[in-house]
Amino acid sequence: MAAAGEVMPTCGGRWAVTVITALTLLAFSGHASAGDVDRGEALYDKHCKVCHSLIPEYHKEGPSLHGIYGKKAGTVPFFAKYVALKGADFVWDEAMLDKWLMDPKAFGRQSTKMTLAISDPQDRGDIVAYLKSMD
Ligand code: HEC
């Protein structure tokens, strides 16, 4: 019985490690942070470039996205056309960018002119990874 007493904690430990590994894998496969920057760039060129530039203070229909990751939402200098993000009080991180790209129209109190929505979570994750890499 003494032997069993020694074995039990080891088994419990291994079981815990297995569960943690499984949870980590799940978290990575379903999370935006595992984005592919090159794929994100291609998607950005296809969907976002018409309305956004990455040049500081060069605005199109939407504001310049230069260094947007980590910036306070709705505060790009000299962009006067904010609607949904006017008076926003948060900083762009992965979760908020993901939420924004999923459905910009449903985001603020007033509907934005940003008319597209990216429904594929992998696409959103890759685009966010690209924006993050452009800091
Ligand atoms: C039809 C034009 C249009 C397209 C296409 C578009 N956007 Fe926008 N975007 C806007 C406008 C307009 C705003 C300002 C939002 C507001 O306050 O109404 C904006 C705001 C943003 C912001 C917040 C900027 C800030 O100053 O806080 C981010 C981030 C953003 N867009 C990312 C993207 C990405 C990534 C894509 C491509 C997947 C994209 N946009 C496609 C027009 C567009």
CATH number for the domain including 44? 1.10.760.10
Average pLDDT over residues 42-67: 97
68 and 129 belong to one structural domain: yes
The predicted structure's pLDDT at residue 11: 53
Q: Specify whether the CB–CB gap between 130 and 122 falls below 8 A.
A: no
The predicted structure's pLDDT at residue 2: 52
Tokens of 134: 């452009």
72 and 24 belong to one structural domain: no
Q: Is the pLDDT of residue 26 over 70?
A: no
16 and 39 belong to one structural domain: no
| Model pTM above 0.75 | yes
Contacts of residue 26, defined as CB under 8 A and 6 or more positions apart, other chains included, come to: none
Q: Is the pLDDT of residue 10 over 60?
A: no
Q: Whose CA is nearest to atom 19 of ligand 1?
A: 62
55 and 116 belong to one structural domain: yes
Tokens of 91: 């900083």
Burial 8-44 (b: 16+ CB within 10 A, else e): eeeeeeeeeeeeeeeeeeeeeeeebeebbeebbbebb
43 and 94 belong to one structural domain: yes
Q: How far apart are CA 116 and CA 93, in angstroms?
A: 20
Element (H, E) at 81: none
Tokens of 53: 């530039």
Q: Whose CA is nearest to atom 34 of ligand 1?
A: 48
Read off the pLDDT of residues 60-109 as tens digits, 9 standing for 90 and up: 999 999 999 999 999 999 999 999 999 999 999 999 999 999 999 988 77
20 and 55 belong to one structural domain: no
**Which of 52, 60, 132 best tests ligand 1's pocket when mutated (most atoms within 8 Å of CB)?**
52
99 and 60 belong to one structural domain: yes
11 and 53 belong to one structural domain: no
What is the domain count for the chain? Answer: 2
Per the model's pLDDT, the better-predicted residue between 27 and 43 turns out to be: 43
Average pLDDT of the chain, as a whole number: 84
Average pLDDT over residues 41-62: 97
Q: Which domain holds residue 77?
A: 35-133
22 and 44 belong to one structural domain: no
* Distance of CA 101 from the midpoint of ligand 1 (Å): 8
Per the model's pLDDT, the better-predicted residue between 25 and 95 turns out to be: 95
Q: How far apart are CA 74 and CA 82, in angstroms?
A: 7
Q: Is the pLDDT of residue 29 over 70?
A: no
Q: Is the CB of 112 under 6 A from ligand 1?
A: yes
20 and 67 belong to one structural domain: no
